[in-house]
């Protein structure tokens, strides 16, 4: 995650959330092939959001330190 750009992270987040939504609705009608897939996708979303948050707070901390 750390090697991806901000735009790549946004696209990956959008795609992963869409896949999770699709899997969630597909699982209601029939038995899923991989029952652990939604858990993996939620973990992936969490990783992406964590990286985005750390980048946003990291840049703020650098700006504050430069101001001091």
In a domain, 20, yes or no: yes
pLDDT score for 33 = 77
In a domain, 41, yes or no: yes
Helix (H) or strand (E) holding 53: helix 37-67
Domain count for the chain, please give it.
Answer: 1
pLDDT score for 21 = 94
pLDDT score for 26 = 80
pLDDT score for 42 = 96
In a domain, 36, yes or no: yes
In a domain, 61, yes or no: yes
Q: Which pair of structure tokens corresponds to residue 34?
A: 């991989």
Query: Of 5, 17, 21, nearest to 46 (Cα)?
Result: 17
**What is the domain range of residue 48?**
6-67
Profile the chain (68 residues) by mean pLDDT over runs of 10 residues: 90 96 81 83 96 84 56
In a domain, 22, yes or no: yes
In a domain, 1, yes or no: no
Question: DSSP label at 30?
Answer: S
In a domain, 60, yes or no: yes
pTM of the model: 0.76
């Amino acid at each position: 995650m750390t090697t991806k750009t901000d735009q790549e992270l946004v696209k990956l987040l959008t795609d992963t959330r869409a896949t999770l939504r699709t899997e969630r609705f597909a699982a209601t009608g029939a038995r899923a092939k991989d029952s652990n897939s939604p858990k993996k996708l939620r973990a992936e979303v969490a990783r992406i959001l964590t990286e985005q948050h750390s980048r946003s707070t990291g840049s703020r901390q650098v700006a504050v330190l430069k101001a001091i």
